[in-house]
Amino acid sequence: MTELTEIWDLSDTEVFTRYGDVFVPRRHEQMTAVCDLLSGIPIPHVLDLCCGEGRLSEEYLRRNPEGRVTLLDGSREMLDRAVERLAPFGGRHAVREADIEDHAWRQGATYGAVVTSLAVHHLDGAGKRTLYKDIHAMLAPGGAFVMADLVEPTGAAARALAGDHWEQAVREGSLEQFGGDEAAIAFEKSEWNYYRLPGPDPLDKPSSVAEHLDWLREAGFVEVDVVWMYAGHTVFTARRKAN
User: Each residue of 166-201: pLDDT tens digit?
Assistant: 999 999 999 999 999 999 999 998 889 999 998 778
Residue at 111: amino acid letter: Y
Residue 75 confidence (pLDDT) above 80: yes
Residue at 160: amino acid letter: A
Residue 5 confidence (pLDDT) above 60: no
Give tens-digit pLDDT for 213-242.
999 999 999 999 999 999 999 999 999 999
CA distances from 61 to 77, 142, 194 (A): 21, 20, 32
pLDDT at 13: 75
Average pLDDT over the chain reads 93
Pairing of strands 45-49, 111-117: parallel
The helix or strand, by DSSP H or E, that contains position 71, with its residue range, turns out to be strand 68-73
Task: Tell me the average pLDDT across 3-8.
Answer: 38
pLDDT at 243: 82
Task: Tell me the average pLDDT across 62-76.
Answer: 96
CATH number, domain 30-151+207-239: 3.40.50.150
Task: Tell me the average pLDDT across 62-69.
Answer: 97
Annotate 102-160 with DSSP letters as a single string: -SGGGSS--EEEEEEES-GGGS-HHHHHHHHHHHHHHEEEEEEEEEEEE---SSHHHHH
Q: What whole-number percentage of the chain has pLDDT above 90? A: 87
Q: How do the domains of the chain map onto residue ranges?
A: 4-20+154-196, 30-151+207-239
pLDDT at 10: 57
Residue 8 confidence (pLDDT) above 50: no
26 C-beta neighbours (distance < 10 Å), count? 16
